[in-house]
Structure 1
Amino acid sequence: MHAVRFAEYGDPSVLTVVETDEPVPGPGQVRVAVRAAGVNPFDAKVRSGAMRLKTLPTGLGAEVAGVVDALGEGVLDVAVGDAVAGWAVEGGYAQCALMEVYAVKPEELDWAQAAALPVAGEAASRALRELAPREGETLLVHGASGTVGAIATQLAVADGVSVIGTAGEANLDRVRELGAVPVVHGAGLADRVREVAPRGVDAVLDAAGHGVLPDAIALRGGTTERIVTLADDAAGELGVRFSSGGPGARTPQVLRALLDAQAQGRIVLPEPRLMSLANAAHAHAELEARGSGKIVLIP
């Protein structure tokens, strides 16, 4: 099978397509013929060497959607031929991949839509569980126009939470369409938020980073309670919770809820850009240059 691998850390050019054996599913695993694989900023960090988590050579890609073509021992919840989406064990940029956490893909979703959801969707839903915004409360979402922020905004609005979403000037209309009150980010942010929320905010989700945590603390009246960041490494110094999730946070139950919400239109994401597996290096270059917009690889 064809798969994307890299043997040294570096710029996107280290990614190459190689011919390798199809993986064999172990107990509790399924193998899928990949129809779509999501590209994430985390992948670029691993490839560049910013996060040296793997022994080289290795592959990339955590999000996949595809058709089950082999079952490991003990798998009873799906059958060969079923369409599923979820997290690859490793190396989702390939024609075949192994999965341990997966859910049946709703028929309403195409392959690319399903593959674009798991990583960002899990991060957004996890942050909301940690913050627990209630109906009638006000949630501030930094980076509301990004994928994670947009999902969190839509889920919170659907639960009756008032959301204030920060974004750049070009994306304020997008934030408004999500059901949030848009506020432009940058210097003076806290004052602009106070103008639209004179009673303050009940919780803050930082999905973008960019040094907004001091403003978040100020808007929470000086406390770090009910502030969560997914992106700012300064969290520890400021006493703010950094939510990193991990394999334990990735459950079939969470995934099914997210896929169902997407199929029912409660989560609506922009259509991802499609690129071929052979263009994985170009996809990484685009991801790093643009900094936004979902890219999905099609084997």
Structure 2
Amino acid sequence: MKSVWAGALVLGSLLVSCGGGGGGGVSSTSSIPVYFTDDMSVYPSILVKVYEVNLCSDNSCQQKVNLFTSQQGLQTNLAKLNGVLQYITTANIPQGTYNRLEVVMDKNLTITDSNNVAHQAVFTPMNEKPNKPNTVQCDTQRCYIRFNGIVQPFSMGKLVIDFVLKEFEVNTNTNPWQVYEVKMKPLTPQETAGKTIEIHLMVQSTSTQNNNFTGTWMGKTYTVNLTQTTACEINDVSYPASQCLNYIQPNMCVEVKVQEDPATATSLTAVKIETEDPNECIK
């Protein structure tokens, strides 16, 4: 069930092969971009905080390759990721076979119902069930949500994590609400086709002369260029593209849907710009 791809070099206990893994290998790593996405949620908003994303080579997730870490937790609205790939980071991953994907979240989350009422909720522990290869383990503050199965981030040069919100099950008769069924999985190349790419940026400066602004994410600075067709929504008010930069200010958090991939380009063309909660731009 476990194999090392042809040509991959074995690196300590991180890589698992049918021969049990060898020592003394030469390191071989790849830079793999990581994205979050979702399908369709029954709720208009599901706010979570993500602390870590890890790949594991053992069943208990003791041997981890960390892909993303946020000490205070990156706030993410999972319900807004339908048809979208939100760029998170690019991580160096040793070539090998990984049989666990782990996302560490805050135990508490906020779910907004169809009447626009926000409800406090909690993830609850969940054992693996037939045809649902996920587990949830929680302590007093954090929950460790794991996909149990082979993860192959090298097969398409990226790792796309789908939270499959339509399969979340929530007990709304408790206070707080309880999320007692969770599904999270890595996507295949076919499943990522046709999705829009977005990035969240903390605005640094604007230039009406050049019709662009600069913003940062994960320590990298991006230049975002506007066009005549760029949709612009600042604080829930829509503006023509020609006026958009008049309302974008430094230290503003913006969600930018782009033509290029932020994993490989720092000059981006905006399809849509929308302001967001500042916590969604803080790593």
User: Could you tell me the TM-score, scaled by structure 2's length?
Assistant: 0.25
Higher RCO (CA < 8 A, seq sep 6+):
1
| Structure with more strand by fraction | 2
User: Could you tell me the TM-score, scaled by structure 1's length?
Assistant: 0.24
| Structure with more helix by fraction | 1
